[in-house]
Amino acid sequence: MTKKILLLVLLAGFAAVATEALSQSPGGATPSTSPASSSTPSKVTPPVSSAPFKSDATGPSAKETTAKDASKENPSSKSATSGKDAAKETPSSRTIPTSTVTSSPSVPKTLVVERALVTLIFDNKVPAAEAGMLFGPLPVEEGSSVEKDELVAQIDNRSTLAKQKIAEAEYLGAKAQSENDAEVEVAEAAINVAQQEYEMSKEIRDKNPQAVSLSQLRKDKFNWEKSLAQKKQAVNEKHIAGLTANAKYAQFEAASIELDLRQVKAPFKGEVVEIMKRPGDWVTVGEPIMRIVGLDKVRVKGIVIASGSEGAVAADVFGKKVEITVEMAGGKKTTVEGKIGFASPVIEGVGSSRQFRVWAEVDNKKTTDPTTGQVTWALQPGSVGTMKIDMTPPKPQSGATKTQTYKPVTGDEKSGSKKSKSREF
């Protein structure tokens, strides 16, 4: 700053000397001025002083003198001139606006999805697996909580129960016959007797052919061979009895399955919200009897915009944490947390209305009315809420960017270390 002031003072003195010399020269083209104006050139206004310096004075000195004179009359012009000089001396300051313009926009940390719909995950209209009449009183009513595989209705099963008993008896009979070895043992004993008689008749005939006739010998041999065949038959019948027992057991299982199908059971843990058939009503195969829903876990569905600066893609939101706020009747609000479990890879729509589906599964919770003491679920399927998806990128692991550096050891350092060790010893 001091150098600038000294430079301006020198330029002002040089301009004053030049002005006086021009005013005293006989051939100058400067018009006549008053003594006051010639003696005090610093008070000359820019329009009056610009005429002489345009023809006779040198370009740089005239401009600098004019700027100096103008700065004395108008302080704002002085500040503008000093600003220009500072800009000439510090050219690096011109890069500041460029970096500001090219800065990247900030990524939003929260994505808000309006009008997210709370839906059911487990919703089943329990059908009749067999045709028949509903038998006996229903063990549940609307609003009853049921466990998985709990009996909720009974179809008339009297004929099926009789079939099961018949199949069970036939199976037990066939099984007992397959395990009985009496016929095989009798056949083996008959083989021994027939074989001994044949051998004895043959021995006697060999000694005295007249004692045993040839026909008798043939009969003894036939009896022996017949007893062998009877044993094979007994073994085969035992095997067939075993196969029959398996068939009867299959019939018993079929009757048991049919009996089980006539017992209508809850497919999952939930709550009965509607009963469509009552005892005495006839149901056909596949006809719904009651509706059971699971409310302990619900699914919240929403639509994410896939266009514009506030849009996102499936990879940006999948697996991210989400906060869901549902407004109930009476202005009551319930907030739960979850995670985006699905983001559709298919973008629907065109132009600015491009979008894709997402949903998050959240655990529902029960609330108790302080007045009535009635227990209800906090999130009701069919209600609408707002999803706030946390888009903050995950923090890098602490040890992921650390690198180990090793300083190479020179020969001097090696020798120095050896010397130091030798000195220690």
DSSP string, 75-115: HHHHHHHHHHHHHHH-GGGGGHHHHHHTPPPPPPSEEEEEE
Side-chain-side CA neighbours of 100 within 13 Å: the count stands at 5
The confidence score (pLDDT) of residue 346 equals 93
pLDDT in tens, the chain (425 residues): 677 777 787 887 777 777 766 655 444 444 443 333 333 334 433 443 433 333 343 444 444 444 444 444 444 444 444 444 444 444 443 433 332 333 334 445 788 999 999 999 999 999 999 999 998 899 999 989 999 999 999 999 999 999 999 999 999 998 998 888 888 888 889 888 888 888 888 888 888 888 888 888 888 889 888 889 988 988 998 899 999 999 999 999 999 999 999 999 999 999 999 999 999 999 999 999 999 999 999 999 999 998 877 788 889 899 999 999 998 777 788 899 999 999 999 999 888 889 999 999 999 888 877 777 777 888 889 999 999 999 887 666 655 455 444 455 555 544 444 444 444 43
Residue 208's alpha-carbon distances to 56, 196, 213, 278, 288, in angstroms, are: 178, 18, 10, 93, 91
Is the entire prediction scored with pTM above 0.75?
Answer: no
- Nearest CA to 105 among 309, 389, 308? 309
* DSSP H stretches of helix in 262-310: none
The confidence score (pLDDT) of residue 254 equals 93
The confidence score (pLDDT) of residue 169 equals 93
- Nearest CA to 321 among 390, 271, 423, 381? 390
User: What token pair was written down for 185?
Assistant: 């043992």
Do the Cβ atoms of 272 and 143 come closer than 8 Å?
yes
Strands 321-327 and 384-390: antiparallel
**105 residue type, one letter:** P
d(CA 41, CA 37): 6
d(CA 134, CA 147): 21
- Nearest CA to 121 among 304, 341, 424, 399? 341
The confidence score (pLDDT) of residue 181 equals 86
Side-chain-side CA neighbours of 401 within 13 Å: the count stands at 4
Do the Cβ atoms of 152 and 146 come closer than 8 Å?
yes
Domain ranges of the chain: 2-94, 157-261, 293-390
* Domain 293-390, classified CATH 2.40.30, yes or no: yes
Do the Cβ atoms of 321 and 339 come closer than 8 Å?
yes
**229 residue type, one letter:** A
